[in-house]
Amino acid sequence: MVDLYQMENELRAQYAMIAGVDEAGRGPLAGPVVAAAVVLPEGVTLAGLDDSKKLSEPQREALFDEICGTATAYGIGLATEAEIDDINILNATYLAMNRAIEQLATPPDMCLIDGNRADGLNYVNQCIVKGDSKCAAIAAASILAKVTRDRLMVELHTTYPQYNFAGHKGYPTKAHYAALDE
């Protein structure tokens, strides 16, 4: 079993403030891309913390509140559908990540990014493939990003119920494609 806290604990000798950064919404057909940046205090352990994709919706919701209450700092940024259409999903992801990091009261010394590249980030960073299952701060960021985006899609559902955004959150499903065709 992976120790989610090991990577940050090892990096604390070099960096005082380490932020985990992740996004949600790169695969959907609708809605914004949402990123979160989370700085966890040294020595904290959050029971049940894991990659947001491995958790149920109630588990993510409970951890969302715990992360927000425990984190040294957190920020949430998004890029709108119009920005995605204008600059493409990869650049919109970087835009959302930069916006999330900018929400932190103090700029981090190091950002740990879920993924294999972060060319568009304005901060010192290290990419970690599958980082949301290897690093506590990235796992926490994955939860904040996913829950925030899901909540936005539920709100969007009230305006456009015919698309069932509350059900599939904008991800491509047969029902979503059928609603688009109609």
Please report, in tens digits, the pLDDT of each residue of the chain (182 residues total).
579 999 999 999 999 999 999 999 998 778 999 999 999 999 999 999 999 999 999 999 999 999 999 999 999 999 999 999 999 999 999 999 999 999 999 999 999 999 999 998 999 999 999 999 999 999 999 999 999 999 999 999 899 888 888 888 877 777 766 766 77
- Token duo for residue 50: 């894991």
Contacts of 48 (CB under 8 A, 6+ apart): 55, 59, 62, 63
Q: Please report the sign of the dihedral spanned by the C-alpha atoms of residue 117, residue 145, residue 76, residue 13.
A: negative
Domains of the chain, with CATH numbers?
6-181 (3.30.420.10)
Distance CA 9, CA 178 (A): 48
Residue 64 phi/psi, 5-degree rounding, is -55, -50
Distance CA 61, CA 8 (A): 24
Are 165 and 177 spatial neighbours (Cβ–Cβ below 8 Å)? no
The confidence score (pLDDT) of residue 87 equals 97
